[in-house]
Amino acid sequence: MKKYIIIPVFLIVQFLSAFAQEQQIKLETIAPGVIKMTMGKPDQFSPYQFCAEQPRIEEMAGLSSKELPFDLKSVRIIKNNRGIQVSLPLTSDEQLYGFGMQIGSFEQRGLKKKPIVNDAPVFVNNNPLANIGYTHAPQPFYVSTRGYGVLINTSRFVTFLCGTNEEKQDLNTGDKNQNKLKFSTDQLYQNQPQETWNMWIDIPNTEGVEILFFQGEDIKECVQRYNLFSGGGAMPPLWGLGIKYRVKGDYTQDKVMKMASYFRDNNIPCDVLGLEPGWHTKAYSCSYVWSDKFPKPQEMIDNLNKENFRLNLWEHAYVNPAAPFFNEMKPYSGNFLVWRGLVPDFVNPKARQIFADYHDKELIGKGIASFKLDECDAGNMMDATSTWGFPEMSQFPSGIDGEQMRQLFGYLYTKTLFEAYKKRNQRTWMDYRASYLFSSSLPAVIYSDNYGHNEYISQVSTSSFGGILWSPELRDAASDADMVRRLQTALLSSQVVINAWYLEHVPWYQINTEKNNKNMQSESYPKLENIVRQLFQQRMALIPYLYSAFADYHFKGIPPFRALIMDYPNDEKVRSISNQYMVGQNLMATPATADSTTRKVYFPEGDWYDLYSEKQYQGGKSYKIEFPMDQLPLFAKAGSIIPLAEPLNYIANDAVFNITCKVFGNKPSSFALWEDDGTSFDFEKGNFNQINLSVEGGKGTVKKDGKYDGKRYVVNEWNFVK
Amino acid sequence: MKKYIIIPVFLIVQFLSAFAQEQQIKLETIAPGVIKMTMGKPDQFSPYQFCAEQPRIEEMAGLSSKELPFDLKSVRIIKNNRGIQVSLPLTSDEQLYGFGMQIGSFEQRGLKKKPIVNDAPVFVNNNPLANIGYTHAPQPFYVSTRGYGVLINTSRFVTFLCGTNEEKQDLNTGDKNQNKLKFSTDQLYQNQPQETWNMWIDIPNTEGVEILFFQGEDIKECVQRYNLFSGGGAMPPLWGLGIKYRVKGDYTQDKVMKMASYFRDNNIPCDVLGLEPGWHTKAYSCSYVWSDKFPKPQEMIDNLNKENFRLNLWEHAYVNPAAPFFNEMKPYSGNFLVWRGLVPDFVNPKARQIFADYHDKELIGKGIASFKLDECDAGNMMDATSTWGFPEMSQFPSGIDGEQMRQLFGYLYTKTLFEAYKKRNQRTWMDYRASYLFSSSLPAVIYSDNYGHNEYISQVSTSSFGGILWSPELRDAASDADMVRRLQTALLSSQVVINAWYLEHVPWYQINTEKNNKNMQSESYPKLENIVRQLFQQRMALIPYLYSAFADYHFKGIPPFRALIMDYPNDEKVRSISNQYMVGQNLMATPATADSTTRKVYFPEGDWYDLYSEKQYQGGKSYKIEFPMDQLPLFAKAGSIIPLAEPLNYIANDAVFNITCKVFGNKPSSFALWEDDGTSFDFEKGNFNQINLSVEGGKGTVKKDGKYDGKRYVVNEWNFVK
């Protein structure tokens, strides 16, 4: 825990259990609305100590002070030879969410979850719901509809039984359903959780535990508290909200420049170009040195920058003997290699420094805007043939073992590079493939090799409970419709990525990989490209709105893309909806897949408008809707002001947005555009403006407040939709 | 370890490692050819202390005394906060087998294995090879083609990296394959183990370790040693080698009697009838009390016994409040319930006694010949929705936790009932669904709800490395051919089970479940029934031969059904063959599936004969062979004598077999038939005979040796096949 939070212990309670050793349980309020319960000697490598930013205490104090809905005395902690077990009460009407970015399951009550970092979810019998919780960004943290969050501050592998198992002491012998004979194994083994069963948490191999309880009126506020406790949500550079395109892994300098020209010549928005492994002299493991495919890298960087492209470089953290800092890193790395490369002990500040210094001097200092941090999640734990990554039994000089490092590695790696950028007062927006607790303030977005479109959509919702940003990137597609639908989803996320790492041409030139690489243009090419351009432009029009949503993420802890349950905590119908989500304050996204021509959309209370067609829908009802290919599936709340920009092709540092305010329905709430220099951390010193948009007397008004002296937005037009 | 094995410590070595604490490693020869290496304070609930039988020291001493092929000083043991890690050298040409009954993978080198008891294997991407090793009968025990076995005597979850990961200290920077760019994730992440990489074993959450090394000339001898160390292989009652038929779960007493008549009236061999959950007043969890479907159970048992049927009862160990011994068991059970029933703490002798006493008095004493012990494996650890079974965090009064109990539960449960039978000097032959280490002497055969026919076949081979017997039972079938092929496999195993628990009629009446239960006879019915009768009779003819194979299992530790590699250790081609296996001394089984009309069969050195058609095949070669539906796929070695019996319809206690000896090729080795009373443990006091069959001067001769005074075999005929 941060040392400066000196809030006195206000309660010491002793618990006894038939099996437990007698142990002191200590309670402490460590930040407004965050209670820490400690027993025994907690994990030496508990995650919060590594949090990249300080908690935003003041903003946390501004949230409601609603108490936890249960008595902390009802929490049982057992300590024995196995480790620690914790039990918490659940009530009958309670639903649980969280455990980080989950792939498959959304409502977690009645499930067994093991939030462990893994490069792939494990779908038993191909059933995503059955996924135990292995993902790129898992967390031992859940939130409840009753308004509280529970977090186990450990890097050990934890199991949560979310009301799945009955205790002997609760045995009620009056059960009536016991003697029905069953004739299929599905019937025999179906899960029938009862409402009286507790949450049970298993933390093996530890001598103590630290549990954090997050208070809140509802899930949204608990999540806000968690995000603020983690330093507040990350603020992207403005260009980070544009489009990123990753070129083929063997592209040369010339080909990269040609791809850049393609975007500009064809008036297709693009902000970032990403290079894949081929830029290294050695990759798998990495040398971090320009290969001969890039004879004049500085020239390329400069020319791209001139055209307002930012350059992103792929890497992973496994250090090849050809890396210039290999020998320096050797003593600060684990005892196992990965792809014959060193595994830096990022717990050790010295390892972080060696890694960051090299990157700072050779890459960031020379104009590299961001990195893609691959394979920091390690191979599939459940696949006997997947053995890349360091084993859980690895040992690192700092004393951390491979199990703990598996949970923390992606986080620490990303933090290492984030700190290098921050030292330069330069914002970045990275791709990373593994995260864990307290990562809200990391300027990085999770991506995945998994590719189920339905799961990609629901991952936006599941990520939001744990301060994780998720990038449902476009790679290959089974059909033109599949490509367009996936692209729409990608465009409605925290980072838009077209990841064409194995394609010679853009995917909309030809979706078939083999044909694409044989330069065989598809018949749909010009038509598809037009749709792509249009969709890209719709994203670019949203950037001012999204930037405000990220300001809310940073200052209030509100996830910019989030599950409906956060905004409609009292609507029972949204509890199970994971394929629609809120975008910023007033928009709801409802991505469609190529599976059917229409999809069901549920509208929570209040009226709603299609952002583009302006068609109106009634709240509290479901509709079957067919979404056009060339428009994003977005709905605006009645009573809202949505600022839309004239789409730019890229966000230059001095970009100015011409804004049209769309006003939906009557009595619109005001909306605050947020502006700053878009690239530095000066906003942390108050160097930003809020531009208040409101309707007064039927007329739009604009009021500016703040001390940033630039001008980012010009409001040209007000468009009233009734 | 058994206390009476007092062999002095002959060597004490100290190992140092950069990371390890300095620890004493103790070496001790605890039985002939079994070396125990101890470091620190091993697991309190280590499995060997629960072994049901004493080691067969004398027989172990009779095996070769070949030393381990590596210096024990090359074994590294690291102890740290995580637990214990062990590293052992591997050589380039070495292949590894074992980890208990494995489903999917056979050759284990280059794989990551976690032998954990689970009701289902976890096939990542539907690839059985990728199965990490979760099975019904996993073991932290493997054997090597170099002639040694390594066993970790623990009930904690252990991970084996079978030469999959490279250590920093071994880094060779001269690798050439590092810079080839790859364009698919399959390429990126493929496993490329190198021959110099060690075996690494991870035992978390322990303060010590006990490693057993099994010496042997080859894999077979290492396995023999392991089986003899476990008390020798289990000896079935003679009737246990016949056919078992399990009736539908809701069958009434009358229906059971009708099914019995069906077998006898139609001259279809059957020895055992099995009742499913419906016999309990309560099931899931169990009451162990006859339900009203069986108004006169004693009458039924007596009538069945009169017809020489044995009765087997389904149960699991989760004790329903309606069980007569519920209150007595309550204090000796874990803190979690399963299906609202108690989980007996079988580590505690008192729990075993309560459970055994009830069974003895109410069931065994009244004529129940055996039990089917279901669900002792617990739900799928990797399935978020599969939460039946006690959690790993469970606590039991003996002090064992749920993780350790998960590994031991099936074993201890089966042992509890085995001991009840043994106290009566009565042999039994049970079905059980979970096992672990040192279970060779348990008279029980593993079965499974999984049902891949190819996997079912290879499980015969994988089981054999760890003293596990496996029953690839017949349930449903996709086609007539599928039914017959599956039946052939079932007939070539340690226990033949037709498990029709959801079928009104026998499967060969109608393979479609719905139609079967609607009494709709299939068009193939009489034809299929004839094939079934014929195949059953072929099994019955093999019983004397199989009984001898089991005597070899008991006295020599040779698995009756075993992987080819055991008999042909120098034939490189058999290393990867898991779909053919040895049956007893001289037969090879090559089960076919319904997938194709022919299958490839590899014949190891020497000539071979089809047991029925007598067609000859040359050793060292592969053939494509089409197997008839009405004959078991069996081949006899040239130079062997195979005793075949006139098939009986059941094995009465006084059954006598009329034998024809088939002699294949020239200079046949002698063969020893083994005889005893077939039902008691008097053979352990030497009360058995060996009937030596040999060919002298071109004529068959029979010589009897031993003190059993019954006569089980009449050799009528010698049939010379050249």
CB spacing of B385 vs A130 below 8 angstroms: yes
Does the pLDDT at position A682 exceed 90? yes
> Which of B403-425 are b and which e, b meaning 16 or more Cβ less than 10 Å from the residue's Cβ?
bbbbbbbbbbbbbbbbebbbeee
How large a percentage of chain B has pLDDT more than 70?
A: 95
Q: Quote the mean pLDDT of chain B.
A: 94
Of A83, A164, A167, the CB nearest to B335: A167
- At A450, list the tokens: 């998994």
Query: Hey, of A96, A177, A179, which one would you mutate to test binding to chain B, going by the most B CBs within 10 A of its CB?
Result: A179
| pLDDT at residue A236 in the model | 98
What's the distance, Cα to Cα, between the start and end of chain B in Å? 51
Name the residue type at position A401.
Answer: D
pLDDT band for position A170 (50/70/90)?
confident
pLDDT at residue A173, as a whole number:
56
CA-nearest residue to B197 within chain A is A336
A289 against A194, higher pLDDT: A289
Question: Which two three-digit tokens encode residue B212?
Answer: 């057993």
Task: Tell me the pLDDT tens digit for each residue of B496-540.
Answer: 999 999 999 999 999 999 999 999 999 999 999 999 999 999 999
The closest of A616, A645, A613, A651 to A632, measured between CA atoms, is: A613
The residue behind tokens 């590994």 is B407
- pLDDT of A6: 33
Non-local (6+) Cβ contacts of A4 within 8 A are none
Q: What is the spatial distance between Cα A510 and Cα A508, in angstroms, rounded to a whole number?
A: 5
Chain B environment of A384 (Cβ under 8 Å): 104-105, 111-113, 129-133
| A129: its two tokens | 């719901």
Bridge partners (DSSP) listed for residue A159? A202
Cβ count within 10 A of residue A49: 13
Q: According to the model, what pLDDT value does residue B129 have?
A: 86
pLDDT in tens, B576-613: 999 999 999 999 999 999 988 899 999 999 999 999 99
Kindly list the strands in the beta sheet with B616-617, ordered across the sheet, starting from the edge strand earlier in the chain.
B561-563, B581-583, B587-589, B634-637, B608-610, B616-617
Six-digit token string for B199? 């075996």
What DSSP string describes B67-113? PPSS-GGG-EEEEETTEEEEEE---TT--EEEEES-SS----TT-EE
Tally the residues of chain B.
722
| Chain A partners within 8 Å of B399 (Cβ) | 81
Is B171 close to A336, i.e. CB distance below 8 A?
no
Q: What is the pLDDT of residue B467?
A: 97
pLDDT of residue B128: 87
DSSP labels for A159-197? EEEES---BGGG--TT-SGGG----SHHHHH-----TTP
CB B96 within 8 A of CB B141: no
Residue B68 pLDDT exceeds 60: yes
On the question of a cis peptide bond just before residue A285, with omega within 30 degrees of 0, the verdict is yes
Show residues of chain A in contact with B403, CB under 8 Å.
Answer: 82, 204
Q: With left for phi above 0 and alpha for psi between -120 and 50, is residue B635 left, alpha or beta?
A: beta
Return the biggest CA–CA distance within chain A.
79
Calpha distance A371→A374 (Å, rounded): 9
State how far the Cα of A98 lies from the Cα of A106, in Å rounded to an integer: 8
The confidence band for B382, taking pLDDT boundaries of 50, 70 and 90, is very high
Residue from A352, A338, A341, A340 nearest A397 by CA: A352
Helix/strand/coil for A79: strand
CB spacing of A168 vs B129 below 8 angstroms: no
Q: Which chain B positions have a beta carbon within 8 Å of A130's beta carbon? A: 382-386
β-bridge partners, A721: A664
Å between A62 CA and nearest CA of chain B: 38
Say whether the peptide bond before residue B285 is cis (omega within 30 degrees of 0).
yes
On the question of pLDDT at B11 being above 70, the answer is no
Q: How does residue B671 score in pLDDT terms, banded at 50, 70 and 90? A: very high
Please tell me the predicted confidence (pLDDT) of residue A178.
52
3-state secondary structure of A122: coil
Residue pLDDT, tens place only, A255-313: 999 999 999 999 999 999 999 999 999 999 999 999 999 999 999 999 999 999 999 99
How far apart are alpha carbons B46 and B28 in whole angstroms? 17
Chain B positions in Cβ-Cβ contact with residue A333 (cut-off 8 Å): 168
Tell me the pairing of strands A243-246 and A272-275.
Answer: parallel
pLDDT at A174: 53
pLDDT at position B195, please? Answer: 72
**Minimum distance, in Å, between the CA of residue A167 and any CA atom of chain B:** 4
Residue A201 sits at φ, ψ, to 5 deg, of -125, 130
- Sort out which chain A residues have CB atoms less than 8 A from B122's CB and list them: 122, 124, 382
For chain A, give the percent of residues with pLDDT over 90: 91
Q: Burial of A275 by CB count in 10 Å (0-12 exposed, 13-18 middle, 19+ buried)?
A: buried
Q: In this complex, which of B159, B183, B379 lies closest to A249 when CB atoms are compared?
A: B183
The nearest CA of chain B is from the CA of A130 a distance in Å of 5
Q: What is the token pair recorded at A681? A: 């951390």
- In terms of CA atoms, which chain B residue is nearest residue A323? B173
Q: What proportions of chain A, in percent to the nearest 5, are helix, strand and coil?
A: 25, 25, 45
Which chain B positions have a beta carbon within 8 Å of A110's beta carbon?
385, 387
Stretch B556-564: mean pLDDT: 98
The pLDDT tens digits of the residues spanning B233-277 come to 999 999 999 999 999 999 999 999 999 999 999 999 999 999 999
For the stretch A699-715, pLDDT in tens is 999 999 999 999 999 99
* Residue type at B256 in one-letter notation: V
**pLDDT tier at B47, thresholds 50, 70, 90:** very high
Does residue B718 have a pLDDT over 80? yes
Eight-state DSSP code of residue B260: H
Q: Under an 8 A CB cutoff, do A336 and B166 touch?
A: yes
Distance from CA of A173 to the nearest CA of B (A): 6
CB contact under 8 A, B171 and A337: yes
Nearest CB to A183; choose among B189, B249, B387:
B249
* Residue (of A229, A78, A47) closest to A156 by Cα position: A47
Would you say B345 and B409 are in contact if contact means Cβ atoms under 8 Å apart?
no
Measured distance between the N- and C-terminal CA atoms of chain A, rounded to whole angstroms: 51
Mutate to test the interface with B, among A43, A119, A124 (most CBs of B within 10 A): A124
Of B110, B284, B342, the CB nearest to A178: B284
What is the model's pLDDT at position B184? 79
Collect all residues of chain B within an 8 Å Cβ-Cβ radius of residue A111.
384-385, 387
What is the DSSP track for A470-524?
Answer: B---B---SSHHHHHHHHHHHHTSSSEEEE-TT-SS-GGG-SSHHHHHTT---TT
Q: State how far the alpha carbon of A59 is from the alpha carbons of A229, A670, B5, in Å.
A: 9, 21, 70
How far does Cα A119 stand from its chain's mean position? Answer: 15
Q: Rounded to a whole number, what is the distance in Å from the CA of A536 to chain B's nearest CA? A: 27
- Residue B177 predicted with pLDDT over 80: no
CB neighbourhood size of B642 (10 A): 27
On chain B, the residues whose CB falls within 8 A of the CB of A249 are 181-183
Query: How far is the CA of B309 from the CAs of B159, B239, B251, B712, in angstroms?
Result: 45, 9, 17, 19
Helix (H) or strand (E) holding B454: helix B453-463
Which pLDDT score, from 0 to 100, does residue B174 have?
53
Look up residue A73 and give its two tokens: 């005395």
pLDDT at A75 exceeding the cut of 70: yes
**A252-259 contacts at long range (C-beta below 8 A, 24 or more positions apart):** A252/A293, A252/A294, A253/A293, A253/A294, A253/A295, A253/A296, A253/A297, A253/A300, A256/A300, A256/A304, A257/A300, A257/A303, A257/A304
Q: Give me the phi and psi of A540, to 5 degrees please.
A: -60, -30
Whether B387 sits inside 8 A of A161 (CB atoms) is: yes
Chain B residue numbers with beta carbons less than 8 Å from the beta carbon of A391 are 159, 161, 165, 200, 202
Given a cut of 70, is residue A15 above it in pLDDT? no
Band of residue B8 on the pLDDT scale cut at 50, 70, 90: very low
Distance CA(B260)–CA(B307), nearest Å, equals 8
Q: B199: part of which helix (H) or strand (E)? A: strand B199-204
Q: What is the pLDDT of residue B93?
A: 92
User: Are the C-beta atoms of A718 and A663 separated by less than 8 Å?
Assistant: yes
Could you tell me if residue A267 is left (phi over 0), alpha (psi between -120 and 50 degrees) or otherwise beta? left
Q: Residue B222: pLDDT above 60?
A: yes
